[in-house]
A and B are shown apart, each in its own frame.
Chain A
């Protein structure tokens, strides 16, 4: 399993630079989320930059003692929505074949099929699946990122999986 990303114990809000230092460990996972949602390295770079700026401006929305990672990922996810909306043609671009080329020929069709199936999902369904199965976040953290209850997060993930079918069949999903 890929490490979901280091989360700092807390965030420093004394000034911009101390905040930048404390949020830095979250940037890689923020980038992975943005890349998974936007399907473009350049767009993901832009989205993470803007999300970090917005995180600073929205620092008052961070509850003391809360987990920084879902708070920041929620801002990244929102930035991805904004980026798609401001869009233009690039947001409509489907997955390139670059990643598929790195896989073996036998797996290409399966990965390609999933990529196409993901492209057909709504952004909210895709977000739920990316958080749960790509970033490997526990359900509790998926819930906090989506700003819903753990039960609702579980429902969203399962609903997104159902919409993925019949493209994909997944058995025995854990609740963790």
Chain B
């Protein structure tokens, strides 16, 4: 193959996405600090997917789970069970699923571990029985441990999980022109095609109203749908483009803003920060109405709280969990409460290689 052909093939392989026109004006606006940032949709989607599933799942967890076991590692042979005994989960004494990525590079080398943090002691224990064997997964990414369902007592290759925690959605792309939304029942091991659409199909969230899906033919904008997992009927839904917060005149001009995810009540949690500048304002909040901020934490960069939620958030029945990969710490917050810290011990060490890191991701509700 000659070089010209290779260049052409590179463009075909990667595709040609044109920059959206709004991006330049958004950059101008952000630099001018005259308007809020466009929400970071990657984080919003990922966190919303997890948060909605967890919120709904978390509310049901107490009804489904037996009393919390002191054993951190679940049964070797997972078998989904349900218990009618409602049990309130104590965030100070529960088991939080996390995944840990240990990486370095270049040359890039990444390994992952999956397990649980005992929030009473902060001790991380690897789940030696973690397995995705026999579970179908979306064809647009490899089989990855994305979510731990306490109800199913196993890791799932999807974070679009039913409110009951016993089924999950995944997408099969039988051809570039068509995508199929599938629902896999973990208990019965049965899989069914619920809905299909032309082009790409991306499953986003699953709550009591249905499965939120984005779909659209290649190289077009996508449409949002709400699919009923019971009968496959789908209704178009409109997506709010309201910014997650309003920038105040008093906000510092040199701060960064990022949305971390949902608090489980539909509020986007925003982090205003400047990691490069000790002493600069550090503010984690959400808005209940334009300019009406509810503070989760407000301090300064480098202060004693050392709260840098770089690992995102996850809402469950106990409140909101934050992962801090700067300090390898978890934080918990609930409305009307305070921010509490859980230092994690027992994490794998950073590799002795260039640019090492150990990152924690929240992977399920505390149980």
Q: Enumerate chain B residues within 8 angstroms of A49, measured Cβ to Cβ.
A: 23, 26-27, 30, 37-38
For the complex formed, measure the closest distance between the CB of B103 and the CB atoms of chain A, giving whole angstroms: 7
Q: Which of B107-136 contact A (CB under 8 A)?
A: 107-108
Task: Tell me whether A85 and B357 are in contact (CB under 8 A).
Answer: yes
Compute how far the CA of A5 lies from the CA of B20 in the bound complex, rounded to whole angstroms.
Answer: 15
For the complex formed, measure the closest distance between the CB of B187 and the CB atoms of chain A, giving whole angstroms: 23
Q: Which of A110-145 contact B (CB under 8 A)?
A: 110-112, 114-115, 118, 122-125, 129-130, 133-134, 136
Q: What per-residue 1/0 map shows which CB atoms of A1-34 lie under 8 Å from chain B? A: 1100000000000001101110110011001100
For the complex formed, measure the closest distance between the CB of B159 and the CB atoms of chain A, giving whole angstroms: 6
Compute how far the CA of A174 lies from the CA of B146 in the bound complex, rounded to whole angstroms.
Answer: 43
Task: Tell me whether A90 and B46 are in contact (CB under 8 A).
Answer: yes
Compute how far the CA of A112 lies from the CA of B10 in the bound complex, rounded to whole angstroms.
Answer: 10
A73 lies within 8 A of chain B by Cβ: no
B300 lies within 8 A of chain A by Cβ: no
Q: Enumerate chain A residues within 8 angstroms of B219, measured Cβ to Cβ.
A: 98-99, 101-102
Q: What per-residue 1/0 map shows which CB atoms of B6-32 lie under 8 Å from chain A? A: 110111111111111001101110111
Q: Enumerate chain B residues within 8 angstroms of A62, measured Cβ to Cβ.
A: none
Q: How large is the interface on B (under 10, 10 to 19, 20 to 34, 35 or more residues)?
A: 35 or more
A155 lies within 8 A of chain B by Cβ: no
Task: Tell me whether B11 and A93 are in contact (CB under 8 A).
Answer: no
Task: Tell me whether B142 and A94 are in contact (CB under 8 A).
Answer: yes
Compute how far the CA of A50 lies from the CA of B27 in the bound complex, rounded to whole angstroms.
Answer: 9
Contact of A17 among B32, B101, B176, B199 (CB under 8 A): B32
Q: What per-residue 1/0 map shows which CB atoms of A98-109 lie under 8 Å from chain B? A: 111111000110
Task: Tell me whether A52 and B218 are in contact (CB under 8 A).
Answer: no
Contact of A101 among B11, B177, B256 (CB under 8 A): B177
Once A31-B23, A49-B27, A101-B176 are accepted as A-B contacts, the answer to whether A96 and B17 lie under 8 Å apart by CB is no
A151 lies within 8 A of chain B by Cβ: no
A41 lies within 8 A of chain B by Cβ: yes
For the complex formed, measure the closest distance between the CB of A65 and the CB atoms of chain B, giving whole angstroms: 23
Task: Tell me whether A46 and B142 are in contact (CB under 8 A).
Answer: no
Once A24-B24, A89-B141, A124-B105 are accepted as A-B contacts, the answer to whether A174 and B3 lie under 8 Å apart by CB is yes
The residue on B at minimum CB distance from A52 is: B27
The residue on B at minimum CB distance from A45 is: B23
The listed residue with most B CB atoms (<10 A of its CB), out of A57, A98, A118, A129, is A98
The listed residue with most B CB atoms (<10 A of its CB), out of A17, A27, A45, is A45
A-B interface, 10 closest residue pairs, ranked by CB to CB distance from nearest: A99-B15, A101-B176, A97-B176, A122-B108, A124-B106, A98-B218, A31-B19, A111-B12, A16-B31, A114-B13
Complex A-B: 29 CB contacts under 8 Å:
A23-B27, A27-B19, A31-B18, A40-B42, A42-B41, A45-B38, A48-B19, A48-B27, A49-B23, A52-B30, A57-B254, A89-B141, A92-B144, A98-B200, A102-B12, A103-B12, A107-B9, A107-B12, A111-B13, A112-B13, A114-B12, A118-B14, A122-B108, A125-B106, A136-B7, A168-B9, A170-B6, A171-B1, A171-B2
